[in-house]
Structure 1
Amino acid sequence: MGSNAALEPINETLGVYSQLFMLLAAMVYMVVFIFFALDLAKTNKSISEMDAAALKEDEKLLVSAGAVTRPARGRRGQEVRADNVGEHIVTDKMEYTKLSSNRKMARIAVVLMCLAVALHGFAVFARAFAANRVPWGNMYEFMSTGALVVSAVYLVALFFKDLRFMGAFISGLVTLMLCGATIGFPTPVGHLVPALQSPWIVIHVSIAVFASALFAISFAMNVLQLMQHSRMKRIADGQPDKMPFMRVVPGAGALENFAYRLNTIGFAMWTFTVIAGAIWAEAAWGRYWGWDPKEVWSFVIWVVYAGYLHARATGGWTGPRSAWLSIIGFLCVVFNFTIVNIFFNGLHSYAGV
């Protein structure tokens, strides 16, 4: 790209607009989170009312048939019905149905999330045009761009699957990412440091952003999978359903399969990221691998997800074990981005903090 003297000047006005729209996006994301949370609360209440009505109908049918039976009861005397385990508002195929679509709060949340993504996208691209470069040259930009990819991928997925049950998780995660970027890693708009002034930053870092976003969405799926698995196990043991709102979430098996597919794509992208990083390292420092902390932890992430995919495909690791292994992989991603960037000295110490 040449020396800093040959670089175009920073557009300070666009930089200010970028910060303003980033703040507006974060505020809208918080409102989105509230509406998704209200949707879960309202759905929880509706499910309880539906169960009560269904129970009364069952009792009427039993009485009319001349049979009187008592429903099963949990430890606290609460009635336990079979459909608490098998019947979900969102099917395992995650398709839109008449029952699942009748959720006003969720529809409002999706519309507001579209607005938030538009504001967020303007903020990211305004910063890119302000500096005349790609918007992922430091931790602030990587985190804010990564948050945009997470929310954008989620919105695109909503056209094909009913993933609104993840709305509160995704909007909450994106809000935390934007707050973390703004509060933890505030960085003025500026030119790239010389080490990053290479065409490889477009290829290497952009794929890393997409891979990390897929890992984040998969992480959300795995957490919900563990919650659903725990809930269904308790109900099968005759205990009361303490999380009826999870009826709006598909079964644990469906969540696991969806997370597995996302992790497969993310792993392929991360593999390319590691390879592209090695090629860039050879061009910049004259070697493909030097055991730099960033290189080591990028490889650790690759090993964890490779182990996850291998164990699930050939070793029969399904259910909570595979979910925990996937979660460990994402925690390694977070560790690599935060702790390694901030506290480990190495050739990659140009995160802007």
Structure 2
Amino acid sequence: MSYVEFSSDAFIAAFFLYCFGFIFYMIAIGGKKWSNRDPKAHVKRWSRIAFIVSILGLAAHLTFFFTRWYGSKQIPTSNMYEFMTFLGMAIMIAFVIIFAIYRTALLGMFALPLTIIIVAYASVFPQEVQPLIPSLNTVWLKIHVTTAALGEAFFAVGFAAGLMYLLRVVDFKQTSKAAKRAQRWVEFTLYVLIIIIGFIITVFAFRGAGYEAEFLQEKVTIDNRGQESTATNTVVYTMPPIFKPYNSVTTSMDSFLGIQKPLLEAPSWMNGVNAGRKLNTVVWSIITGSLLYGVARLLLRKRLGAAIHPYMDGIDPEDLDEISYRAIAIGFPIFTLGALIFAMIWANIAWSRFWGWDPKEVWALITWLYYSAYLHLRLSRGWQGQRSAWLAVIGFVIVMFTLIGVNLIIAGLHSYAGV
């Protein structure tokens, strides 16, 4: 067995250990309500078990990282699969550091699912080792990517603590306008997380079923001299086509629930090679996520936030507010070094310029400016509590768009990451 194959086994082991760690954290927090013994002793015992299992998962994840590095002869952060697996590992490292400081068991109940989602999302992408392109083959890649991801990992922990704070302080029994507005936004945040889970489930379900549809798309472009040119591209779907590519014909399509042809065509302004496929993926993710959310609502017979809220009793909201702030405060200088300073050094080596207004560079700057504003409002304007928690939640949405949206939707020099 090669080191790369062994690393894949270690990765699977890490994923399942994270899942078990999350389950044990749920037992620690949820089980205290029906434990016949001292609730505090119950939480302490199961939290210790959950933390040990999580550490074992992190050890397996580190094994995956270093064995893949050794087997491939290059740091495994050069494409979306490798980067997202590294980000999941970095979130666990950040969680361990914050947990060692505050010893809050409930943090694991939110940080572990975030890691599991990111690790599962990474598995959507091709897992083969891909040779580094020349602009990536430098030591500054290692420094830039790893430090940027570690900074983003602390932002993720800040997001988890911020969401926990909102679930703790938002009263789902109040009926005032302000209370209802807060309830709706917390519920919408949980709904978006479920849509992401729905995306992962949809991809693996249709991949396991071997579904495929193929289209031939013509794209007409006009150059500066007014001359038209036509390019023909083959677009392959791995999900049933609700939207087919614009200006395309179906060459082959597996039947799904009796549907033999695409239902709709992507809008005319979405005429990129993969634009229709991405729109189709988004629609399927929303459908699957909405179904999951609906099933959860039927089983719980209440909003998800209202179902989670009672389990937050006994948690000091000021501690959650402090954890969220400290995590972001730790991550900000690391992100500054990795995503801006080291990135500009690497850009100068790779492309002979420090800044080029590439979409990824622009959104990294937007992320940095946002968290700069967060720290300014927190320290100078006294924005604490709910306002600070919402800023932490929104900030991580920006981080995820920088990581996923820019790589997979907006074309640029960083588009290689979406291969």
Counterpart code for 1:318? Q
The residue that corresponds to 2:370 in the other structure is 304
- Deviation, 1:306, is 0.7
Counterpart code for 2:327? L
The residue that corresponds to 2:14 in the other structure is 25
Corresponding residue to 1:191 among 131, 142, 152: 131
- Deviation, 1:218, is 0.6
State yes or no: 1:146 paired with 2:87: yes
Q: TM-score, normalization: structure 2?
A: 0.64
Q: TM-score, normalization: structure 1?
A: 0.75
Q: Find the structure with the greater CA-based Rg.
A: 1
Contact 1:130 1:189 in 2 (8 A): no
Corresponding residue to 1:108 among 49, 54, 67: 49
Contact 2:87 2:150 in 1 (8 A): yes
CA distance in 1, matches of 2:154, 2:84: 14
Change (3 A) 1:256 1:130: same
Q: Deviations over 1:199-242 (max 9, x none)?
A: 111211111011011000010000011111214996xx9xxx97
CA distance in 1, matches of 2:44, 2:319: 22
The residue that corresponds to 1:174 in the other structure is 115
The residue that corresponds to 1:224 in the other structure is 164
Change (3 A) 1:248 1:189: farther
SS at match of 2:34: helix
CA distance in 1, matches of 2:353, 2:410: 20
CA distance in 1, matches of 2:328, 2:52: 28
CA distance in 1, matches of 2:41, 2:101: 14
The residue that corresponds to 2:24 in the other structure is 35
CA distance in 2, matches of 1:291, 1:112: 43
SS at match of 2:416: coil
The residue that corresponds to 1:72 in the other structure is none
Unaligned stretches of 5+ residues in structure 2: 180-305
Counterpart code for 2:332? F
Q: Deviations over 1:81-130 (max 9, x none)?
A: xxxxxxxx8xxxxxxxxx46753322221221122111111111111111
The residue that corresponds to 2:236 in the other structure is none
Counterpart code for 2:399? V
The residue that corresponds to 1:347 in the other structure is 413
SS at match of 1:191: coil
The residue that corresponds to 1:69 in the other structure is none
Q: Deviations over 1:149-195 (max 9, x none)?
A: 21133234433431211112122111111111012x22312332211
- Deviation, 1:313, is 1.1
Correspondences of 1:277-292 after superposition (within 5 Å): 277-292=343-358
Which stretch of structure 1 is more off in the superposition, 110-119 or 202-211?
A: 110-119
Counterpart code for 1:125? F
Contact 2:69 2:76 in 1 (8 A): yes
CA distance in 1, matches of 2:142, 2:405: 24
Corresponding residue to 2:391 among 322, 325, 348: 325
Change (3 A) 1:158 1:320: closer
Correspondences of 1:192-271 after superposition (within 5 Å): 192-231=132-171, 243-249=309-315, 251-271=316-336
Change (3 A) 1:100 1:139: farther
Which stretch of structure 1 is more off in the superposition, 210-219 or 20-29?
A: 20-29
Change (3 A) 1:16 1:142: same
Contact 2:35 2:42 in 1 (8 A): no
Which stretch of structure 1 is more off in the superposition, 218-227 or 30-39?
A: 30-39
CA distance in 2, matches of 1:173, 1:201: 25
Contact 1:43 1:248 in 2 (8 A): no
Higher RCO structure, 1 or 2 (CA under 8 Å, sep 6+): 1
State yes or no: 1:276 paired with 2:216: no
Counterpart code for 1:135? P
CA distance in 2, matches of 1:28, 1:230: 32
Q: Deviations over 1:35-61 (max 9, x none)?
A: 1112221123359x98xxxxxxxxxxx
Identity %: 34
Contact 1:200 1:280 in 2 (8 A): yes
Unaligned stretches of 5+ residues in structure 1: 1-11, 51-88, 90-98
Change (3 A) 1:157 1:328: closer
Instruction: Decide which structure has greater strand share.
Output: 2
